[in-house]
Amino acid sequence: MNRSDNPLKRFLNRLGPGLITGASDDDPSGIGTYSQAGAALGFATLWTAIVTLPLMVVVQHICAKIGMVSGRGLAGVLHRYYPRWLLYPAVVGLVVANTINAGADISAISAAVNMFVPIPISVMVVPIALAIVMLQVWGSYRLIVKVFKWLTMSLFAYVIAAFLAKPDWYEVARATFMPQVRFTSEYVTTLVAILGTTISPYLFFWEASEEVEEEKSEGRARLTQRLGATDDEIRREKVDTVVGMLFCNVVFYFVILAAGATLHVSGKTDIQSATDAAQALRPLAGSLATVLFAIGLIGAGLLAVPVLTGSAAYAVAETFGWPSGLDEKPRHAKKFYAVIAASTLVGVAIDFLGINPIKALFWTAVINGVVAPPLLVVVMLVANNKRVMGSRTNGPVTNIVGWLAAAVMFAAAIAMFVLWGS
């Protein structure tokens, strides 16, 4: 059979920004958060994987559609159609959250490498950060993605590990479909972290910008060529987004399940190191659990950091009208790549504050959970603006789910602050 006639090959070729976004959403911050949730609360947060899936799909679909229809990234749209008092806080919030997240992810990569090579984490963060920046500046991001998204596939080991741990499947089903929400500080803070690491601010900006990059790669370099989107393009994007978010949430669900069935059951309720988190894979990998976990964490981190710093750079460049794009030559997009380098290195500087790398992942997710709701409101305003979207504004169902996502995230963040310390 000719490769072009292979239905699976054709299907995979139609996947793009949505799949990459979904894979990068399972970044070290996500893995750390899900592991901590399972360790601390057992199966009590499994239901969030089911509830957040439609919210994630709709939110990312909206962001992708903004890029496809407007021909601009999200920050570019805000710059063109909205006042500066709305644009600047949105971009600043994104850059701050992304920089902290990138720093935490780089520290986690270093912690994972430390599981192979006994070099202090503090010694490794700078060379790892510099290597990532150089790959972004002088390499092709598409090549990077092709390599490292396969490494993240190792995270599916959690699926097997969860089954091998032989959990009480009745309890698993009850926690998934009949959850008992606890109004405690620990529980609600964990919910905010889960929401923040799944419906993340950087993904809003990233997916819109990458849809624009996809159009540029097809030869539509001028804005006038990119305006609007056909029904077929929208259908392609919907499939791409659903597949990417489903990929993300399957991993998300089973990381919590594996950690709950192993770490929580054994009394290990507080993860202090990468080695602690790796123990959730012991039913599958035994003594090789740390190796398997480290490979997945490194792959996830190397995929996520360019997405984090890249989305920050897209936002800043679009705000000021600078040339941008990860396939641009450095001499053509100096300021764009300078933002990438600065965001990465400031993130690394944070790593030297002596913060536990694994704890940093969790609290980064909490920060994202606080920053995301107001940014999501901005996304919804843009998606319903006829000047931007023409006839492609949100339909009633999309609006209901999108505003529901914003309301849920606001409610969780407010509840966290109310219950803080209780």
pLDDT in tens, 178-213: 998 899 999 999 999 999 999 999 889 988 888 888
User: Above pLDDT 90, what percent of the chain?
Assistant: 52
Name the amino acid, one letter, at 67: G
Has residue 172 got a pLDDT over 80?
A: yes
Separation of alpha carbons 243 and 25, rounded Å: 13
For the residues 319-343, what does the mean pLDDT come to?
88
Which helix H or strand E contains 245, and what residues bound it? helix 231-259
* pLDDT band at residue 86 under the 50/70/90 scheme: very high
Q: CA 68 from chain center: how many Å?
A: 20
Query: Do the beta carbons of residue 385 and residue 393 sit within 8 Å?
Result: yes
Has residue 309 got a pLDDT over 50?
A: yes
Domain spans of the chain? Answer: 3-419
247 token code pair: 């990929």
Separation of alpha carbons 263 and 72, rounded Å: 45
For residues 38, 39, 43 and 49, what is the CA-based torsion angle, rounded to 10 degrees?
-10
Contacts of 279 (CB under 8 A, 6+ apart): 262, 263, 268, 289
Weakest-pLDDT range from 35-44, 136-145, 177-186, 290-299: 136-145
For the residues 228-241, what does the mean pLDDT come to?
86
How many residues are listed for the chain in this entry? 422
3-state helix, strand, coil in the chain (%, to 5): 80, 0, 20
Separation of alpha carbons 300 and 190, rounded Å: 21
Closest CA to 358 of 5, 92, 48, 28: 28
Has residue 1 got a pLDDT over 50?
A: no
Within a 10 A sphere around the Cβ of 258, how many other Cβ atoms? 29
74 token code pair: 């999200």
Closest CA to 312 of 345, 334, 335, 343: 343
Has residue 169 got a pLDDT over 70?
A: yes
Has residue 3 got a pLDDT over 60?
A: no
- Of residues 403 and 350, more confidence is placed in 403
Closest CA to 46 of 181, 182, 170, 175: 175
The dihedrals phi and psi of 363, each to the nearest 5 degrees, come to -75, -25
φ/ψ bin of 286: left (φ > 0), alpha (ψ from -120 to 50), beta (otherwise): left
Has residue 2 got a pLDDT over 60?
A: no
For the residues 91-112, what does the mean pLDDT come to?
91
Query: Do the beta carbons of residue 92 and residue 84 sit within 8 Å?
Result: no
For the residues 56-76, what does the mean pLDDT come to?
93
Closest CA to 191 of 34, 77, 371: 34
Has residue 383 got a pLDDT over 90?
A: yes
pTM for this prediction? 0.90
Closest CA to 20 of 157, 165, 202, 162: 202
- Domain covering 3-419 in this structure, CATH number: 1.20.1740.10
**Max CA pair span of the chain:** 64
Q: What is the pLDDT of residue 16?
A: 63
Q: Tokens 């490194």, residue? A: 298
Alpha helix positions (H), 2-83: 7-13, 17-25, 28-41, 47-70, 74-81
Residues 276-297 have pLDDT tens digits of: 888 888 888 788 888 888 888 8
Query: Do the beta carbons of residue 403 and residue 380 sit within 8 Å?
Result: yes
Within a 10 A sphere around the Cβ of 420, how many other Cβ atoms? 10
